[in-house]
Amino acid sequence: MKLHLSPSIREKLARKQPLVTETEIIECFANQTREPLTDTREEHLTDPLTRWFIAETNHGRRLKIMYVPRVDGIYIKSAYDATEVVSRIYSKHANLLGDEP
């Protein structure tokens, strides 16, 4: 699946401290162990709905990745270091990959 990062998203990620790289995002997709959650908050609605998950890079950095899945690929909306609050929400609500029938 092709990963899409618009110029404005690339700029946004480059301004993060520390910055988030495309390689780190790819690593998080490869390393995720739980199903993504869907963001249904009205102020964040997209079509299709935005999904998000938390995973580690190959160097152990925990990132929250937000994206919109489309037929032609995955469109990244944002990525940043996962906070403890967001990590607890994700752990509470996300199913482990492979656990569902």
| pLDDT tens sequence across 15-41 | 988 999 999 999 999 999 999 999 988
46-71 per-position pLDDT tens digit: 889 999 999 999 999 999 999 999 99
DSSP structure class, residue 94:
P
67 - beta bridge partners? 51, 76
73 - beta bridge partners? 70
- The average confidence (pLDDT) of the chain is 92
Q: Where are the domains of the chain?
A: 3-93
Cβ proximity of 34 and 51 under 8 Å: no
Q: Residue 20: name the closest of 64, 68, 97, 80 by CA.
A: 80
The pLDDT, as a whole number, for residue 101 is: 43
37 - beta bridge partners? 52
Q: What are phi and psi of 42, to 5 degrees?
A: -55, -40
Cβ neighbors of 72 (< 8 A, separation 6 or more) are 2, 4
**pTM score above 0.75:** yes
